[in-house]
Amino acid sequence: MRTNTALRNLDMPMAGYDKPESRAACKISATNLNFYYGSFQALHGISIDVYANRVTAFIGPSGCGKSTFLRTLNRMNETVRSSRLEGKVRLDGEDIHELEVSEVRRRVGMVFQKSNPFPKSIFENVAYGPRVNGYESKSALRDTVEQSLRRAALWEEVKGKLHDSAYSLSGGQQQRLCIARALAVDPEVLLLDEPCSALDPIATAKIEDLIFRLKDSCTIVIVTHNMQQAARVADYTGFFLLGRLIEFDSTTSIFKAPARKETEDYVTGRFG
């Protein structure tokens, strides 16, 4: 895998490495997004294009709205009572509020900060989504589970104990199981909300490596408190502050020479 990555990197246009690409297609776009928890406005006029088959990271201090924004991308925020959304989110140009919510959640998967496997076997955790969608034969289901576990870089560690409880896995393995579960319905976009914050450096490195490989088949959006993680995994980075998207640019630009003083103060630790 490392060799393939190295070979692929040879073709990268090094001189323009930190310049936004004009060729990348837009997968999800948000336009003038405002979001309210009751009377509290958590997001102010967010407009952004998330590029297909790229990793986009959102950083910012606690309470800045980055997780709230992430949840608007698959309508997860609708589960919060008395919340209200203004503006548009489009997936491949289609307004996600005009699609069935189940279709949105299938196409835009999500993995949370704390791994949350179901109290079932490893196999059943991954098989759950395809089974609910009801389009898998038994043998196809087995194939899907294996493929999903392979894509989540977990297959080799669990192939001999697929029917053990998911709770028997380590924290890092449980998080990769949740990623495998999300991948099992073949999402086009994967939203990751602080996926490594409870993991040790080795488990974190595995998830980051996985993110890098998944972007061939998926568009990935990650919210992280860890700036170094954003710098390592993301092609594009957005900085949120007080519910506003202050700056969005290539990751190298954000961490080398951000345009906005607020971003500069945050990434250099001089914030506040």
Q: In the complex, which residues of this chain contact other proteins (CB under 8 A)?
A: 227-228, 231, 255-258, 263-264, 267-270
Q: Which is nearer to other proteins, 78 or 262 (CB)?
A: 262
- How far apart are the C-alpha atoms of 83 and 95, rounded to whole Å? 19
- How far apart are the C-alpha atoms of 265 and 248, rounded to whole Å? 15
Minimal distance, residue 257 CB to other proteins, in Å:
2
Q: Which is nearer to other proteins, 41 or 252 (CB)?
A: 252
E-only strand ranges, the chain: 26-37, 40-51, 55-59, 83-91, 94-95, 108-111, 189-193, 219-223, 236-241, 244-250
- How far apart are the C-alpha atoms of 89 and 31, rounded to whole Å? 6
Angle CA(27)–CA(1)–CA(113) in degrees, nearest 5? 55
Minimal distance, residue 250 CB to other proteins, in Å:
12
- The answer to whether 130 touches 185, Cβ cutoff 8 Å, is yes
Minimal distance, residue 267 CB to other proteins, in Å:
4
Minimal distance, residue 251 CB to other proteins, in Å:
11
Q: Which is nearer to other proteins, 92 or 208 (CB)?
A: 208
Q: Which is nearer to other proteins, 127 or 227 (CB)?
A: 227
Minimal distance, residue 19 CB to other proteins, in Å:
12
Tokens 């496997």: give the residue: 117
Q: Which is nearer to other proteins, 122 or 230 (CB)?
A: 230
- The answer to whether 234 touches 253, Cβ cutoff 8 Å, is no
Minimal distance, residue 12 CB to other proteins, in Å:
17
- How far apart are the C-alpha atoms of 215 and 188, rounded to whole Å? 10
Strands laid side by side in the 108-111 sheet: 108-111, 189-193, 219-223, 55-59, 236-241, 244-250
Q: Which is nearer to other proteins, 1 or 15 (CB)?
A: 15
